[in-house]
Structure 1
Amino acid sequence: MLAGCSSSSEPSAVPAATSSSTTTPQATTPRQSQAPVLDLSRFGALPAVPQPTTDVVSCAYPEQPPAAKEVNPPPTDNVDVFGTVDVALSTSRGPIDITMDRTQAPCTVNSVLSLVQQGYFDGTPCHRLTTSPGLEVLQCGDPSGSGRGGPGYSFANEYPTTAYADDPGQAQNPVVYPRGTLAMANAGPDTNGSQFFLVYADSVLPPQYTVFGTISESGLQTLDAIAAAGVAGGSEDGAPADPVIIESATA
């Protein structure tokens, strides 16, 4: 996928909030004209979610200007690590309901919930759609629509990256992010901001993109319709042919 998630087909090594675009990882296996179906059995699965050892954690959100849309940073202390949060994304192409899981990524959920409550995502485009086997996602969360925008702060990777704390080399080996996964885009390790991607078909990525929830079945139907309309210009990576706007996000 993208190391961050952007309209560029190449991963970026700079934070999403800078002038360089954020990316999602690229598919690890290029599409072959004679073999359009990717053999997912060649890749591993996401690891088990590490279980918390405390009820709350502290999070850090260092400044990463400029902000695509001015918001206050989220709280940093006493962040819950248990429970889920339901968020309804009302889009121009239909509803996409998501469920965020604090146990997977408490600091990520804390940030996204704060952005939802401040109306950060309201009226923002989903700027990137990818449709190649091994990378089938819709990327959203940048008010500028450029793939370069963020909230003015960044934060560290969480699950699944943290599941490899004892063997970080394994965190470079691609795994399958299954259909229905909700994950953060970034521009390299620990450069998460506001951009996220919605996986509508099994996609292969290194476990460097924080997983923080799931997509409802009705939301996947909306994503399927968006994907069926294709990418503008007929490519496999770019703006959706039918524009997708998040009209509102409510928790």
Structure 2
Amino acid sequence: MVASSKKHSREQRDARERLRHYSARNTVHENSLARRKRDNLLSVGVGLVVIALVATAQVFYFSAGPGTPEPTPSFTPDPSASAPVQENIGDVPDASVSEGRIWTGELTLNDVALGIELDGAAAPQAVASIVDSISSDYYAGTTCHRLVKTDNAGLIQCGSLDGTGASDPDYAYGPVENAGVGGFYPAGTIAMARTGNNAFSNGRQFFIVFDDAIIPDDAAGGYSIVGSVVSGLDALQSEIIAGGIVDDAEDGAPVIATSITGFTIQ
């Protein structure tokens, strides 16, 4: 009986020891799971903070920092910025003057005669302005003060009254009509110049595209296409454009001083 009692006691001790070891391992396991859960939550939190910081840095870089995109120059009669005005200024003729039809005529730059067509249906307000300005002899003697020759554009801008390209503060109209699709203005295009980001800053100045041009839209859109040159573009290239730009620039005054010596329409 004594031996049996001792054996039973030893078995009880062994059972208690196994239970203690099991409880200890289980506690360690549970603590490990809890610690792993805390670590995972901490990792997720740190990751979200890092993503937020990276996103903030990118926004700053591209909106206010060194990654800010360079502004694209506008083909505008006035290099100074102006606040958009959403109404016509001055004695702007009614759009009905364009009669919604095709006008044909001749524009002469120095001794180069260009046959032109103006589309009163596509750009009624702009064509009305040109027709009215021709009838009042506004264009006679005005200059072509600006020549642009880049990989993306070739154009000459005309109609500057004082020769500087400054806009007339007493005459402006809008909106933009018949702009180039996707910023594309094919060779031969005649379009109105305006101040950047202002759809109601069209005046009397216009530009003639002699090489296909890509002119990106700005906040106001594109540039009003009023018509096209149907003859004489080659002569314009050889007799005026070929002379180049002052100081060998890509954008500036033409070396061959150019003015409008004739403008007729019918």
Q: Structure 1-normalised TM-score?
A: 0.66
C-alpha RMSD of matched pairs (Å):
2.6
User: Can you list the C-alpha shifts for 1:182-236, whole angstroms capped at 9, x where unaligned?
Assistant: 1000003221001100000011113411111001232343245322110012111
Q: Which residue of 1 aligns with 2:189?
A: 181
Alpha-carbon distance change, 152 to 7 in structure 1, aligned in 2, over 3 angstroms: closer
Give the match for residue 245 of structure 1.
Answer: 259
Whether 2:127 is the aligned partner of 1:117: answer no
Q: Whose relative contact order is higher, 1 or 2, with alpha carbons under 8 Å and at least 6 apart?
A: 1
Equivalent residue number for residue 106 of structure 1: 124
Cα 1:159/1:240, change in 2 over 3 Å: same
SS of residue paired to 1:216: strand
Residue matched to 1:14: 82
Can you list the C-alpha shifts for 1:157-176, whole angstroms capped at 9, x where unaligned? 33335x9xxxxxxx8xx521
Residue type at the aligned position of 1:193: G
SS of the equivalent of 1:228 reads: helix
Name 1:87's counterpart in structure 2. Answer: 105
Q: Which residue of 1 aligns with 2:74?
A: 3
**Quick check: 201-210 or 112-121, which moved more?**
201-210
* 2:244 is equivalent to residue 234 of structure 1: no
1:127 counterpart = 2:145 = yes
Deviates more, 1:224-233 or 1:134-143: 224-233
1:185-204 residue pairs with structure 2 within 5 A?
A: 185-187=193-195, 188-204=198-214
8 Å contact from structure 1 (residues 150, 195) kept in 2? no
Structure 1 moving runs of 4+ over 4 Å: none
- Tell me the distance in 1 between the aligned counterparts of 2:120 and 2:234: 21
Count residues in correspondence: 186
Asked whether the equivalents of residues 243 and 256 of structure 2 are also in contact (C-alpha less than 8 Å), the reply is: yes
Q: In structure 1, what residue type is equivalent to 2:116?
A: I
Distance verdict in 2 for CA 1:201–1:149, change over 3 Å = same
Give the structure with the larger helix fraction.
Answer: 2
For residues 98 and 142 of structure 2, the distance between their equivalents in structure 1, rounded to whole angstroms, comes to 28
Structure having the higher Rg: 2
Conserved? CA contact 1:98–1:215, under 8 Å: yes
Distance in 2 of aligned mates of 1:100 and 1:2 = 26
CA shift, 1:5, in A, is: 2.8
SS, match of residue 75 in structure 1 = coil
Q: Which residue of 1 aligns with 2:114?
A: 96
Q: Closer, same or farther in 2 for the Cα pair 1:125/1:79, shift >3 Å? A: closer
Contact 2:112 2:235 in 1 (8 A): no
* Larger strand percent: 1
AA in 2 matched with 1:210: S
TM-score by structure 2 length? 0.63
Q: Which runs of 5+ in 2 are unaligned?
A: 1-71
CA distance in 2, matches of 1:189, 1:158: 5
